[in-house]
Amino acid sequence: MAGILSIQFEPILNKMDENLEKIQRIIDNFMETNVDKKPVDLLVLPEFFTTGVSHKYVENPVSPEGGKPIELMANVAKKYNTNIAAGTVITKEGEKLYNTMFVLNREGKTVVKYRKIHLFKYFGGTENERITPGDEILVANLDFARVGLSICFDIKYPLHYRKLMQKGAEIIVSPSAWAFLKSINGQKELNSRIFRCLSITRANENLVYFVTSNQCGNAGILGSTGDSMIISPNAEILADAKDSECAIYANIDLELVRTLKNTTPMAFEE
């Protein structure tokens, strides 16, 4: 068994320090009220957790090592003896900007960095005009499980997840900033339904635990749907944040994944 903690919160646009303080409070509150001492083997943060969804995120990128946000998460990892899939921050490497997730082990050391491959360039999105896409599909080999890495709009590309599963992923994380235009009636309900359906499908079709960590609340002209979930390979929603700012937790059974992978060979067929 393993414990998964996913954070959902409403970032303050372009206020890194305030957002880091808010995330620290949410994590500390869960840990301090965890009277049953439930294990936390993996903690997942949302996409753009330091800035929210704003074009200004490109104005103050962090170093390739992650800068202040990843230093703080490294301290959290050590303090609470947990692995962390640290949302995303914008890193500058040479002259290029990347939307980057850092995966940290319990000692606070970076195990792997995943650069978002499928950038949002549809329905008015312009992420591709500012950010360089990554080119490597990655699985983090942590001390308790193999964790496949994806970010937000990657979820629209099923072959990305098939490759993660074929690389041995037992859990797949999806830090997200899944948003909608507040000016269009019905967009929140539509985008929420799409996000939830895709998340459940990616879990079941790849026989993995699927962990989303999304933003919620307002982001200027945008709103975020929330809907962070922890989903079993049997499509069971084990934890659901809905549209609240909160931490959600589930105790997962990795033996279920390993059994299903040995008994459901069609999942590996091309």
Q: Which residues participate in catalysis according to the annotation?
A: 47, 116, 152
Is the CB of residue 230 less than 8 Å from the CB of residue 4?
yes
Residue 206's nearest CA partner among 172, 243, 246, 242 is 172
In 168-244, which residue ranges form alpha helices assigned H by DSSP? 187-206
Which residues in 146-192 belong to E strands, given as ranges? 146-149, 171-175, 179-181
With a CB cutoff of 8 Å and minimum separation 6, the contacts of 29 are 247
Q: Whose CA is closest to 69, among 154, 175, 221?
A: 175
Contact yes or no for 15/115 (Cβ under 8 A):
no
Token digits of residue 119: 């950038």
> What are the Cα distances from residue 196, in Å, to 48, 167, 207?
20, 24, 17
Q: Which residues make beta-bridge pairs with 91?
A: 62, 98
User: Which tokens is 244 given?
Assistant: 């609240």
Q: Which of 218, 207, 222, 213 is nearest to 253 (CA)?
A: 207
**Beta strand pairing call for 2-8 and 42-44:** parallel
Residue type, 89: V
For residue 59, how many other CB atoms are within 10 A of its CB?
A: 10
Fill in the DSSP letter of residue 265.
Answer: G
